[in-house]
Structure 1
Amino acid sequence: MTDRFAISPFGGKGMARAQFLVNEQVRRARKALNEHATEAQSPSDHAVDKWQLLRAVTEARLVLGLSDRTIVVLEALASFTTERQLDPADDLVVFPSNAELSLRARGMAPATLRRHLAALVKAGLILRRDSANGKRYARRSEEGHIEEAFGFDLAPLVMRASEIETHAAEARRLARAIRALRSEITIHLRDIAAIVEAAAEEGRGRSFAPYAERLAALSGRLGRNTDWETLKARRDALLALRNDVEKAYLEGLSEADLEAREAGHVVNENINMSANGTQNERHIHNSNPESQLETYQEKVEAGPMPPDLETKSAVESDHDTASGQRGGRRKPEAEGSGQKPPVGFETVASACPQMRDYAPDGLSDWRDLMKAAETVRSMLGVSPDAWAEARAEMGDINAAITIAAMLERAEVIRSPGGYLRRLTERANSGTFSVKPMLNALISARQKAVLEKN
């Protein structure tokens, strides 16, 4: 019987040229395998593990043009072969009934099943071997061996095993590259945001505003299926922005800043940064929302004063005594609790963007912030007495900054008036500073941006 037997579809449908070509390729490949079979190399040496092959098909599905549902049907067909190792030299025709095939395809509807079978034929992974009446069955000999089978031939799938594995390896390589690219994008976003924030804290926020806008434009959410080209374009844009930001930041430093400094100063800065990081973590995970902004004040009360500050306080105390001042030591004053703001205006505007909604003429300086704070404190329900006490203890600017920070957390502060009074008491004892509050808001916003990506 000819090797090209039963290659036309049942039901009067035309046969595509591609189907004839696939059949001819299978015929020639089988012939070559049988001709070159020797004792040292039999046709079984070319057998492949069907489940490993199906895994490779799944990994290479985009190149092969297959959907996940189509692969489910292919797995169902492969499950009808009795051996795990599929030899291309063997007869690989399977002949399941529609009902059984539907069961093994997770209960797929007949119409859907036919559509995915057609997709497998079109992809060149299976061949139809239709009988005279279109039914699928096998004709057996008296000994029970299959002499002739009509159904779906899996030989094309096995013949293309090497090609499919190559596509799968390339898909795995691309997936690894995309994961690395996503990680690189996240790190660039984090580093650039940290540099812009540092510049704002140093009072250079206005000159870095264009960089902050570019960063915001490049911080959009990336979908799970974003392609390589889109990710690479985002990475390249972030690299260009990072170069510009780093160059601008270094240009703002003096030669003395860039030279090696005393080891003790560097160590002290690192210790302070570590302490701030610990407090940031405590702030984010504090289970009591109303106390989150206060958590940062605890580091002032947590332990003894650093040696350099103790020396400074002793000198000031001696000076006060020598000047004949009454009352002994002066009331302690934490950083940022006096009239002079501890941070730049741009930092406050960046950490508390909602204040712009309450500044009809725009929010461009401290005067605008204090005007907006008057409106916001009334809206929050802070009494005039509590507001007056806060201004007296903290100073007008720092009290306005405190109101701005409270506005950002208004939904979790149960009693804004009582909350402000507690902060005022801290200011009175010298253990209050607005700077940690702003750092908490900035860190939370940066974390939210990174989680989106």
Structure 2
Amino acid sequence: MAFIQATAAFGARASELLSADNARPGRQISASQAPERHIIVETLRKAAPLLGLKPTVLATLEAMLSCLAPKRNHNMVFASNLTLSARRNGVSDRTLRRHAATLQEAGLLQRKDSANGKRFTRYDPAAKQAMHFGFDLSPLFDKLAEIAALAVQAEQTAAQIAYLKSKIRAQLRPLLQADPTDTRGLDLLRRLRTRLTVAELSALSAALPQEVQEAEDDRLETHVGASKLSASDGQNVRHHQKSNKEKPEEEPPSQDKPAAAETLSLAELVTACPEAASFSLGSIAHFGDVIAHAQTLAPMIGIDRATYGQAVRSIGALRSAITVWAIVQFHDRIRNVGAYFRAITSGARSRDFDAIRLVRRLGAMAPA
């Protein structure tokens, strides 16, 4: 049954996802299309430094998310303070109220209180409408794309800070070797143990001798300004040079290879993957925007930074990006998105995987 469900064609829900109304920019995420709870929590934890949320507040938000049913048509939490306190290991009602106020100030929660302060729902069968009272988490789901972008920004900032601290230590090493009692060098080492911004660390590094050799990162050999992506037999569009010359008569050209490399235009990608395009906060003008947007989408669907980096090294930044775009269209049918992405990009199934072929299949399923 699981195999039949995983291999079934797109149904009514997929047709709705691929419709023009749902592909418009700024579309809000419905309750049935929301990512899994652990993905939302992980994204929030990464973006917490920029959101100004403490771990205790995130734990309360995670407890609220755990009270939502997987299949629902709303994002309202009806759990009582007693239930939320039990899921937060017995915190007080006062702490819960304080955390709820913090989340409301951050724009991630909206309170809808009833007359008696209870949380419940009432349904009118005649008018076929309902009233919900409780904690409404719809603002959180509406801002998931922005939060994911903040999570990527926070990770990049953390990596830059770690790099600058390592560079400063390397700059201080010859100074301290020459004079282990150098007061200035020892003070700088102590300052590195505190929280410093990128600007502060850059200023400290600029004031030290620039004797540390820095090399450009040449792992990503990708041209992102092109308007079309080549789909030749090789995984990466690169020039491979051999020192030993080969004789043409020793290996005749294969007749199975196409005469010209297949290409994928930006318009074809956006048409085949409207769900990914709808999450973009800005316009997608070139493939550089596709790569930048994929870095935001990856953590939202459960692809961690290490897995995405390995895919970039294996098949290139652009192919990794369009693979993420394609997976967004059917990620709800995949049990473990991270493992699936790893398998088709850098794992056992990567040899037979073609990102452009996957996008073209999605394009063929899209309504005319």
Please give the range of the TM-score, normalised by the shorter of the 2 chains: 0.3 to 0.5
Greater CA radius of gyration, 1 or 2?
A: 1
Give the TM-score normalised by the residue count of structure 1: 0.37
Give the TM-score normalised by the residue count of structure 2: 0.45
Relative CO higher for 1 or 2, CA cutoff 8 Å, sep ≥ 6? 2
Larger helix fraction of residues: 1
